[in-house]
């Protein structure tokens, strides 16, 4: 009997997706470039379901029901192209290649077009939730031809996480749309994590609290508005005792954050689209600054900081930081969703932003209660420009703003870097200003480059002959 679906690439993600499919009752053919891994997979997990292990790509292709569905779960980048090139000559018209790795969305657009020329259907699907998610139910963001999605939706919705009877999987849009939404998901994850790190820094260095004490605070926070996977695991990580030193594990982890690139892609795309995306971008920069460990060590004994401040009221600090964290998180999501809206308009994707929040409620790294509020916001206001403008979020940030401002002041006075907290607040203050200072920017641009300006009291573009007679001339 031929298999319903095939998975090639049996590292941790591919292996776990294949096991998830088999546990849901699908027949699965598995393949890996290095055959030993396929054999090991069958040895370890063959008893879990109806697997067919294939040593060659030809055997793999022959093991599949036609039209074939092949999930490619190999290293992102060139390996995906290599696998497509090897598979294509073995496939029939109409077969579906699914790239479930973290591919960059322009690559997905390119591969979609390339496969179409060969008569193959290509789907780029975002899969979030790490190895646990892949095995037990990830959040799935499928992009590509809707008809092809219709043919594989049974498998994808069955293996996805499920919240209140709704699978965390919905067709996102054509071409690279699925990988785009996954990219923004990861960008938001960067912002969420940076905000958590800043909250921890404040509680430790202004509040004088130990890692386990802060862990207990996060555990409490996880029962309120902030309830989410990342807040939950922060409590667990902070509470962990190091076996070697007997002290908190986080205290002996090097303070250098690494990254694989999805946050950077999100920030670069925001710059390309012209969308203000300060939270995610600051989070990427904070990781790059953390990586300058030797420079920071030298600077720590050279560059002056503020004089020591008296201890603050710790209970008040904890509550203020909680509120600042929530408000900044709202801003990060507002920015990320504004970016997806802009990308949807620029690419004609017609993204359902409420559905994107819905499929992130379970399975993925940023899963949170709060996403229900975003879904509700788009259900009641489908053309919303900015999440901050719906009553729930307007009130949430409005109620938090006093605490948020106190946190930014306190951190600044104590010399604690809070790029995500402070840039979120600056975005908020910039966004709610009817008249900002860009009038002066245009004045300066007109002075040095004759870039012209518009006037508030009428139409037209104007230039002042600054270094000649100082007269204003209309230029349009
Ligand atoms: P890796 O990214 O480590 O990739 C290893 C796999 O790729 C192996 O099966 C390897 O085969 C195969 N491979 C590499 N180069 C080639 C090639 N030229 N031709 C054929 N096969 C090749 O695996 P992961 O499981 O960690 O990740 C898979 C994908 O999922 C990646 O895109 C990754 O970014 C993404 N991912 C997503 C996560 C999430 O939370 N959604 C978490 C982790 C990863 P071989 O054994 O022969 O070397």
Calpha distance 109→338 (Å, rounded): 22
Q: Which of 6, 8, 12, 13 to mutate to test the pocket of ligand 1 (most atoms within 8 A of CB)?
A: 13
| pLDDT at site 207 | 96
**192 alpha carbon – ligand 1 mean position (Å):** 25
Residue nearest to atom 1 of ligand 1 (CA): 75
Nearest-atom number in ligand 1 for the CA of 34 is 47
Q: Quote the ligand 1 centre to 9 CA distance (angstroms).
A: 6
Residue 429 parent element (H or E): helix 419-431
Residue 206 scores a pLDDT above 80: yes
Task: Please give the Cα distance from 158 to 162 (Å, whole number).
Answer: 9
Range 140-144 average pLDDT: 98
- The percentage of the chain sitting over the pLDDT mark of 70, rounded to a whole number, equals 100
Does residue 311 surpass a pLDDT of 80?
no
**Overall average pLDDT of the 24-47 stretch:** 98
Q: What is the pLDDT of residue 312?
A: 82
0.90 cut: is pTM over it? yes
Report the first-to-last Cα separation within the chain, whole angstroms: 72
Per-residue pLDDT at 270 exceeds 80: yes
Per DSSP, the three-state class of 185 is helix
Q: Running DSSP on this structure, what letter comes out for residue 192?
A: H
**Closest among 256, 249, 243 to 210, alpha carbons compared:** 249
The residues lining ligand 1, judged by C-beta closer than 6 Å to any ligand atom, are 9-14, 32-34, 37, 73-76, 79, 82-83, 101-102, 127-130
Could you please state the CATH topology (level 3) that the domain comprising 184-431 is classified under. 1.10.1040
Residue 173 DSSP one-character state: B
pLDDT of 400 strictly over 80? yes
* High-pLDDT (> 90) share of the chain, %: 99
Per-residue confidence (pLDDT) for residue 41, from 0 to 100: 98
CA–centroid distance, residue 375 to ligand 1 (Å): 32
Alpha helices in 301-418 (DSSP H): 314-347, 353-359, 371-380, 391-414
Q: Which atom of ligand 1 is nearest to the CA of 76?
A: 32
Q: State the DSSP string of 371-392.
A: HHHHHHHHHH-TT-S-GGGSHH
Res 315 pLDDT > 90: yes
- Measure the CA–CA gap between 94 and 24, rounded to whole angstroms: 25
Query: Which residues make Cβ contacts (< 8 Å) with residue 222, sequence separation at least 6?
Result: 228, 231, 232, 235
CA atoms within 13 A on the CB side of 285: 13
* pLDDT(72) > 80: yes
Nearest to 182 by CA among 141, 144, 225: 141
pLDDT, residue 309, reads: 87
Stretch 216-239: mean pLDDT = 97
Q: Indicate the range of 7-11, 204-208, 368-372, 430-434 predicted with least confidence.
A: 368-372
CATH class as words, domain 5-175: alpha beta
Tens of pLDDT, residues 74-122:
999 999 999 999 999 999 999 999 999 999 999 999 999 999 999 999 9
Between 21 and 311, the more confident residue is: 21
Do the beta carbons of residue 242 and residue 259 sit within 8 Å?
A: no
Give me the residue spans of the domains in the chain. 5-175, 184-431, 438-474
Q: What class is the 438-474 domain?
A: mainly alpha
Q: How high is the mean pLDDT of the chain? A: 97
- CA 439 – CA 460 distance, rounded (Å): 15
Q: Would you place residue 310 in the very low, low, confident or very high pLDDT band (cuts 50, 70, 90)?
A: confident
Q: Assess: ipTM above 0.95.
A: yes
């Amino acid at each position: 009997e031929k298999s319903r679906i095939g998975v090639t690439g049996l590292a941790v993600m591919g292996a776990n997706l294949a096991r998830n499919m088999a546990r849901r009752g699908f027949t699965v053919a598995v393949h890996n470039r290095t055959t030993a891994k396929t054999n090991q997979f069958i040895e370890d997990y063959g008893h879990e379901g109806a697997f067919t292990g294939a040593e060659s790509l030809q055997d793999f292709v022959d093991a599949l029901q036609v039209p074939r569905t092949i999930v490619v779960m190999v290293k992102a980048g060139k390996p995906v192209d290599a696998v497509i090139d090897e598979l294509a000559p073995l496939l029939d018209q109409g077969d579906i290649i699914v790239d479930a790795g973290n591919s960059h969305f322009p690559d997905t657009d390119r591969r979609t077009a390339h496969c179409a020329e060969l008569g193959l259907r290509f789907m780029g699907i975002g899969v979030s939730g790490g190895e646990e998610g892949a095995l037990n139910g990830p959040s799935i963001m499928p992009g590509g031809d809707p008809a092809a999605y219709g043919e594989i939706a049974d498998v994808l919705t069955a293996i996805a996480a499920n919240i209140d009877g709704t699978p965390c999987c919905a067709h996102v849009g054509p071409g690279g749309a699925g990988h785009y939404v996954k990219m923004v998901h990861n960008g938001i994850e960067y912002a969420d994590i940076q905000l958590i790190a800043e909250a921890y820094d404040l509680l430790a260095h202004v509040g004088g609290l130990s890692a386990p004490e802060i862990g207990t605070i996060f555990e409490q926070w996880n029962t309120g508005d902030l309830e989410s996977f990342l807040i939950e695991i922060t409590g667990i990580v902070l509470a962990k005792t190091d076996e070697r030193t007997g002290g908190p594990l986080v205290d002996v982890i090097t303070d250098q954050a690494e990254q694989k690139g999805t946050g950077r892609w999100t920030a670069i795309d925001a710059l390309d689209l012209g969308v203000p995306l300060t939270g995610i971008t600051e989070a990427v920069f904070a990781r790059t600054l953390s990586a300058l460990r030797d420079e920071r060590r030298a600077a720590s004994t050279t560059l002056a900081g503020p004089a020591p401040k008296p201890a603050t009221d710790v209970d008040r600090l904890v509550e203020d930081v909680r509120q600042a964290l929530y408000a900044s998180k709202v801003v990060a999501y507002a920015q990320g969703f504004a970016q997806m809206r802009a990308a949807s308009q620029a690419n004609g994707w017609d993204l359902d932003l409420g559905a994107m929040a819905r499929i992130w409620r379970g399975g993925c790294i940023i899963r949170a209660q709060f996403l229900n509020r975003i879904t509700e916001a788009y259900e009641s206001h489908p053309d919303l420009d900015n999440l901050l403008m719906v009553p729930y979020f307007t009130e949430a940030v409005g109620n938090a703003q006093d605490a948020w401002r106190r946190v930014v002041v306190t951190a600044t006075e104590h010399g604690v870097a809070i790029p995500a907290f402070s840039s979120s607040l600056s975005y908020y203050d910039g966004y709610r200003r009817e008249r900002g200072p860009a009038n002066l920017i245009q004045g300066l641009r007109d002075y040095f480059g004759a870039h012209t300006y518009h006037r508030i009291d009428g139409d037209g573009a104007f230039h002042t002959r600054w270094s000649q007679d100082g007269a204003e001339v209309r230029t349009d």
